[in-house]
Amino acid sequence: MEIRELVLGVRLFIFLMIFIRHGQVSAMEMGLSSDLTSSPATAMYMLGDSSVDCGDNTPFYSLLHRNLSLFPCNGSDATLLPQLLAKKMGLPNAIPFYSQNGSIHGILGGVNFGSAEATILYPGSRSYQSLNQQLRQAFDIIQLLQLQLGEETVDNFVKSSVFYLSFGKEDFIDYFLDNSSGTGFKDSSQNFTQILVNQMTNAVRNLYATNVRKIVCAGVLPLGFAPHVLLKCERSSKSLRKACSDQINSLVLEYNRRLEENVVVISEELPEAQVIFCDVYQAMMEFMGNPKAYGIKDVKNACCGLGRYGAARGCISTEMACQDASTHVWWDLYNPTPAVNSLLADSAWSGKPLSSICRPMNVQELLSSSV
């Protein structure tokens, strides 16, 4: 762990030095003023796992990926839910944190801190960038902007920006399937979900303390129906197969429910806080339960993978993908296709085709609401 932390620390240090050296510009030079809130959203900053990052922002991902899927999304980060939402906001694609070249222009356009195998809980995880690590990176960026542009200008900028958080999937994968933490889940699964939710709640509070006001918290998708989980559960006895998937989905639902409850509490407790919860689970269950209505033909098999359900080995080459990913719910072992992400983005943005997956308001309403 010390070597991995050292690698991250060195890369972060180099990035900060480049930024400080080449980022000496004023707010006036950037065309910014204290009236940054004239636009519904000035930028979008993303933190999360493979739901926000295809692996480009994960150091040595191609060498150390553990889920045997080199391509957890089809194409690029631009096909993922948060980037699709950013496009609807009229914002550019958020640049991966480790792709920054020290330009303040790029940082003001939005940054993707996400890492393809990121977890909420770092101990026992083989992920490089946990929730807390990504938060530290985000706080460092905000502090650098304050040094360059002044606190008042940056405070207004941050307040009108959207911060998108999507974590938990990798924690459940690690907990149920890899079990690298060595913790049995039979007696402590309820405590496990509560720990995850507490960490996410703390993250929201910490962002708020840094003047972040508009926050989107995405729930975890129905992992019990993901191709790799179906394959794992199928190896159990016939009588336990359904119970295997149901148990995982039950815990995911518990996590989502508790997270949404905490989002409501935070919004009521903290003045100016505008936090919404987007129920990815509910939406995907609708797509799988009524596939023809959404042009979907296959709700079980991965579009890109090998073996039964396309889940014995993940997407190691995009050339092995199915001919039409839009007819599938799942792209690889655990991740949805671009077509499903597009449906999710449309629903999260405007409530169509699915209403109320984001609560208490959709993302479009979040942008138009005043802080």
pLDDT at 234: 84
CB 162 within 8 A of CB 111: no
pLDDT at 277 over 90: yes
pLDDT at 10: 47
Choose the weakest-confidence range: 13-17, 41-45, 138-142, 327-331: 13-17
pLDDT at 64: 62
Choose the weakest-confidence range: 61-75, 110-124, 313-327: 61-75
pLDDT at 32: 55
Q: How far apart are CA 187 and CA 289, in angstroms?
A: 31
pLDDT at 33: 42
User: What is the pLDDT confidence band of residue 248, given thresholds at 50, 70 and 90?
Assistant: very high
Q: What is the residue extent of each domain of the chain?
A: 40-221+251-281+338-368
Q: What is the pTM of this model?
A: 0.88
pLDDT at 304 over 80: yes
The reply to whether CATH 3.40.50 applies to domain 40-221+251-281+338-368 is yes
CB 348 within 8 A of CB 278: yes
Q: Where are the alpha helices (DSSP H) in 109-218?
A: 131-149, 151-159, 169-173, 189-209
Q: What percent of the chain has pLDDT over 90?
A: 62
Burial class (CB in 10 A: 0-12, 13-18, 19+), 107: buried
